[in-house]
Each structure stands twice: as C-alpha cells, then as structure tokens.
C-alpha cells in the first residue's frame, strides 16, 4: 500500500511510475532499472513522495538530464492539479516583460 499526499492509502501501481518515466523520454531499460530499484526499497505504507525520491535518486545516479526532467515535471505538478496556475504565472511574466519592451 502507498500513502498519497492527501493521506489516502491505495495499492501501489507500478504502471503509473512507468508511465511517468516514459513521459520524460527515457528508455525501457532505465525504466525497468528504476522500477526494480523502487520495488526493492518499497514497504507497506511508503509515501508517494518517498517513491518519487527513490526514483529521482536512481535517475540522478544513472542519467542526470533525465533526473532534471523528472524533477521539473514534479515541480510543475506542484503548481496545481489543473496546470492553470502555471499558465497564469507564465501569462503574468509575459505581461510584465511587455511593460519593459
């Protein structure tokens, strides 16, 4: 079982981790290595944040550009579940830059 950020518990879905890693454009061999590494360290009640950290640490050791992309994806998702806060933020920056042009 995994504990999500909202405290809810659910079965760990390795497919979600694999899909997340595919979205950052890494190869299947590295995906398998990350999943195996996370699986080796996983325990009942592990948090999704801990799973992220385990995956990030493996990526950081093996392929730093992939780790950066994985980190960026997490950072953007923290801006809001819909993505709109991020879009609004970028819109504000663009508007401010126009003021200086």
Residue 49 three-state SS: helix
> pLDDT at position 91, please?
76
Mean pLDDT rounded to a whole number for the chain: 85
H helices of 24-83, where?
A: 28-41, 48-62, 64-77
Question: Are the CB atoms for 47 and 41 separated by under 8 Å?
Answer: no
Mean pLDDT to the nearest integer, 63-71: 86
Taking the whole predicted model, whether its pTM rises above 0.85 is answered as no
């Amino acid at each position: 079982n995994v504990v999500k950020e909202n405290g809810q518990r659910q079965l760990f879905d390795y497919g979600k981790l694999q899909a997340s890693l595919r979205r950052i454009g890494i190869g299947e061999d590295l995906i398998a290595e990350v999943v195996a590494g996370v699986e080796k360290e996983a325990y009942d009640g592990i948090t999704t944040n801990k799973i992220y950290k385990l995956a990030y640490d493996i990526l950081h050791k093996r392929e730093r550009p992939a780790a950066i992309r994985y980190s960026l994806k997490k950072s953007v998702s923290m801006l809001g579940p819909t993505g709109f806060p991020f879009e609004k933020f970028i819109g504000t920056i663009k508007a401010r830059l126009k003021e200086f042009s």
